[in-house]
């Protein structure tokens, strides 16, 4: 790999931000193919791969999901939604939750690698029960996260004029050898 490839990779990894406002164009199939292929190869505890995915493009369904999950309301305006379905093994709740975070991050980065924006939406257990009913997902599965994908609506983002989200400084976050 070249220096400029390394720099490009780090810029991608460092620069990922949540995008909630999308243009209406569909996400190209080549991007969807990469999303699914990267999902398939994402690592998981003991290589259980405890996930399944429902791809949703139907506008009415995306609106209905946004309705039952207020913290996933960006689905309503997204050309593509992705519901993550974890296997729901109660003995592996902690592992599945951690692995779901890994999978979500890899998917958002894959979209960003193509210039496509995305955002994580979250369903509480009551809200998830409604989402499962809408999508014919058995209630024993663990559903909690839906991802929105689409090309960023730069004008809408500008109009909101939200300041960029700050981050804590490294001092106070990083320790050498011991915590102190």
User: What is the rounded distance in angstroms from the CA atom of residue 19 to the CA atom of residue 26?
Assistant: 15
Pick the binder of its own copies from 25, 29, 163, 168 (CB under 8 A).
168
CA distance 129 to 173: 37
Distance CA 34, CA 111 (A): 8
Pick between residue 17 and residue 158 the one whose CB is nearest to its own copies: 17
Q: How far is the CB of 120 from its own copies (least distance, A)?
A: 8
5 binds its own copies (CB under 8 A): yes
Q: Is 114 in the site for its own copies (CB under 8 A)?
A: yes
Q: Which residue among 100, 117, 121, 150 contacts its own copies (CB under 8 A)?
A: 100
Q: How far is the CB of 110 from its own copies (least distance, A)?
A: 5
Token match 């998830």: residue? 128
Q: CA-to-CA distance for 178 and 133, rounded, in angstroms?
A: 48
- Which 56-85 positions form the footprint of its own copies (CB under 8 A)? 56-58, 61, 85
Apex 56 CA angle, 53 and 57, nearest 5: 150
Should residue 133 be labelled a site residue for its own copies when binding is judged by CB under 8 A?
A: no
């Amino acid at each position: 790999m070249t220096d400029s490839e390394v720099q490009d990779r780090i810029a991608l990894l460092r620069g990922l931000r949540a995008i909630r406002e999308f243009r209406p164009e569909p996400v190209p199939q080549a991007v969807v193919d990469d999303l699914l292929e990267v999902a398939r190869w994402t690592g998981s505890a003991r290589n259980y791969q405890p996930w399944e995915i429902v791809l949703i493009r139907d506008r009415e369904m995306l609106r209905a999901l946004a309705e039952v999950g207020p913290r996933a309301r960006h689905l309503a305006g997204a050309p593509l939604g992705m519901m993550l379905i974890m296997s729901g093994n109660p003995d592996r709740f902690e592992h599945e939750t951690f692995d779901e975070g890994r999978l979500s991050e890899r998917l958002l980065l894959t979209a960003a690698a193509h210039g496509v924006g995305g955002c994580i939406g979250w369903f509480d257990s009551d809200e998830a029960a409604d989402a499962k009913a809408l999508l014919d997902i058995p209630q024993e599965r663990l559903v909690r996260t839906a991802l929105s994908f689409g090309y960023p609506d730069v004008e809408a983002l500008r109009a909101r004029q939200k300041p960029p989200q700050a981050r804590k400084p490294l001092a106070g976050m990083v320790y050498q050898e011991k915590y102190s």
